[in-house]
Chain A
Amino acid sequence: MRAQPEVTVCRSARFVMHNRAVPKTMKAVESMSANAKRVLVIEDNRVMGDVVRFNLQRAGFDTTVMVNGSDAVELLQNEMFDVIISDYQLPGLNGEEICRWVRQDPRFDDVPIFLCTAKRFELDEQGLMNELRITKMLAKPFSPREIVALVRSSLESQTAGA
């Protein structure tokens, strides 16, 4: 009844070409310098959180994923992050509430925030962006390459501005 993907999907898709790859997954993490920029990803969909973390870590960012809004705020009270990527719809506190909390803390005054949502048209995007100084609203589905590029450019412009 349920198709078992190992055989059918991998063989039929173009992903087969990567079978030659040697295990290098941890390479990026290992080579991550001690002063690697820290990114907090708040995403309740674990599958999505994992792939964003995978791509950001490979790009050299120290990435932490939280699945609950309240837990994320608790973490932010104790730890510092250079970039925050948050989903809008979350258990605990939602993305907007997290952004409000972040902006009231002077430590995160200049931290770039990316807010992702699958309900883009129901939100007053411009209003939120202006009020909470959100760097960019991301509509799902988005590309991991785009996320990495955005995080990079936001940090670069921050450095250039500083």
Chain B
Amino acid sequence: MQSHTQTYSLSSRLTNRYFMFGLAGLFICLAVSLWLAWRGSFMTLAAVTAIAPLIVLLVGGFVLRDTVRLNSEIEEQLQRISVAPTSAGATLKPVVGAEPAAAGWNRILDQLTTLNSLQGLEERLSQSLGGLKQQNLEQILNTMDDGVVLTDADGTITLANNAAAALAKSESPNALQGRRIQEALSFETADNRAMISQKLAQPSPSVTIEVRLGSDTSDGVLRVSRSAAEGQRSHTTAYVWTVRDVTQQKLADETKNDFLSMATHELRTPLANIVAYAETLALHDDIDLEQQKKFCNIVNDEATRLTRFVDQLLNVSQIEAGSLALAQSETDIKRLIDEVVEHIQPQMQQKKIDFEPVIPPKLPKLRVDKDKIEASLINLLGNAAKYTPNGGHVRLQVESRSDSIQFHVEDTGIGISEEDLPRVFEKLHRAADERVQAVSGSGLGLAFTYDVVRLHGGKLTVDSELNKGSKFTMSLPIGGSGAANV
């Protein structure tokens, strides 16, 4: 490869016209000198010998002036490049001339210019893409439900997203900058200050704390996680914090636990009675007949209670799945009410409640799901019996209107507080009132009744005053139920 370059260099040199031009001048001078020497005119020879190189130089200089200018221009520009701090710093100019060197130089210059402009374009593109990336990141941060906060090592906020601002009840994320995260997001209270300080003082940058904002879960629960902004370093200069509001999750967990606890109790209590009475009957063979009958009735009642509770559970799971279906048929409402009254009487008698059914002698037949309407009325009357103190009064008034049948269940019981009233038909909700908690209940009955009445196209309303009593009104439409097939 190298030898090829040398060969090329020699041949180009031989074909170089400056070289050829000088060689030709030399031959002409030599020829003229020989001719003059042969003619014997030595004076002329001396003159030619002195002038000829001058003439050759002058002619050569004239002929080669463009080439020399070209070379010097290129050389000057090359020198500028060599001393310039960057190649971009030196301004290169095209050269004028028909010489191949000029064409070559200009072509190199063209390529360089194209390259430079491409480089500029690339830089501008990457700049705009970088801006876009930053903008995207901000957008992503601001659409997150979790509060994301960047702080320095002391916990002073340097960046926050919209969710963090919302948690801090601040107008904008920028307003949080410069504040201490514990204070800005007010998750530090007098009660938990020591616990938070201890957790945050841990050597590991990754810490997760669950903070209750009040004595009740509904006051708010935040899950605060801290990690190092620059990986898992022990001496970090910045932290990334995520703050998640887990109140709803905690409330759901509590409801689930309460439900499980309630379900266990509601299942075990009748089961315990069944086991105890069955075993007692089997254990003693000298129990008198009346007592045996009494015990058998108790076993049966408790089994019925158990069945009813399991039915309620199934109904609620159907409500949950949205698949609670009605099996409607033409039903004699008068007869249905009589059966309900007969069923509830023992419960009323047990508490010496003055139970007053006010039923018109004639009632129209309705197309309803008999079992579910019966269960709904038993729920309403059962609640009245449960939450009315001994010796109280419960009234079932049935009213036939042109477009509906109204069932009013009114009691002189403990009543429902204003706070609990809007949630009374909510599944699993039971008032915190001690008198309610002392009575076993699932928190499912009214939710079920509400849904059954709704599916019949009817309405269930409640009017109540704490310590005075409650009045539930179930209204069933006559002549078809709007939502029956929903």
List residues of A whose CB falls within 8 A of some B CB. 1-3, 5-6, 9-10, 13-15, 17-19, 21-25, 27, 45, 47-48, 51-52, 54-55, 58, 89, 91, 118-119, 122, 140-145
Contacts and interface: CB of A to CB of B under 8 A. Distances in A.
Contacts of A17: 285
B78 to A, nearest CB: 91
Most chain-A CB neighbours within 10 Å: which of B272, B290, B374? Answer: B272
Contacts of B264: 118-119
Contact of A22 (B280, B286, B293, B296): B286
A129 to B, nearest CB: 20
B216 interface: no
11 contacts: A2-B339, A2-B342, A6-B296, A10-B292, A18-B284, A21-B286, A52-B276, A118-B265, A122-B261, A142-B276, A145-B279
B276 A18 contact: no
Nearest to B274: A141
A33 to B, nearest CB: 20
A143 B275 contact: yes
B273 A144 contact: no
Contacts of B273: 45, 47-48, 51, 141
A141 B291 contact: no
A98 to B, nearest CB: 15
Contact of B286 (A10, A24, A48): A24
Given A118-B272, A140-B272, A3 B304 contact: yes
Nearest to B289: A19
Interface string B425-460: 000000000000010000000000000000000000
A23 B288 contact: yes
B283 A1 contact: no
B380 to A, nearest CB: 16
- Chain B interface bracket (under 10, 10 to 19, 20 to 34, 35 or more): 35 or more
B288 A141 contact: no
Nearest to A146: B279
Interface in B279-316: 279-293, 295-302, 304
B259 to A, nearest CB: 13
B283 A15 contact: no
Interface of B: 261, 264-265, 268-269, 271-277, 279-293, 295-302, 304, 339-340, 342-343, 374, 438
A143 B279 contact: yes
Given A2-B304, A48-B273, A144-B276, A21 B285 contact: yes
A14 B295 CA distance: 13
A25 B277 CA distance: 15
B386 to A, nearest CB: 13
Contacts of A54: 280
**Would you list the 3 A-B pairs with minimal beta carbon distance, nearest first?**
A141-B272, A5-B300, A23-B288
B276 A48 contact: yes
B292 A18 contact: yes
B280 A119 contact: no
Given A3-B300, A10-B296, A47-B298, A18 B281 contact: yes
A119 B300 contact: no
B286 A119 contact: no
B287 A18 contact: yes
B155 to A, nearest CB: 38
B285 A15 contact: no
Nearest to A50: B298
Nearest to A143: B279
A9 B300 contact: yes
Nearest to A19: B289
Contacts of B288: 21-25
Contacts of B290: 23
B343 A9 contact: no
Contacts of B271: 140-141
Nearest to B299: A9
Nearest to A15: B281
A14 B274 CA distance: 14
A5 B304 CA distance: 10
B285 to A, nearest CB: 6
B65 to A, nearest CB: 110
A1 B343 CA distance: 8
Contacts of B289: 19, 21, 23
A143 B280 CA distance: 9
A118 B287 contact: no
A51 B280 CA distance: 8
Given A22-B286, A118-B264, A45 B269 contact: yes
Contacts of A3: 300, 304
A25 B297 CA distance: 18
A49 B154 CA distance: 63
B431 to A, nearest CB: 16
A68 to B, nearest CB: 9
Given A15-B295, A18-B287, A55-B283, 16 more contacts: A2-B339, A3-B304, A5-B299, A10-B292, A10-B293, A15-B282, A24-B288, A47-B298, A48-B273, A51-B276, A51-B298, A54-B280, A118-B269, A119-B265, A140-B268, A143-B279
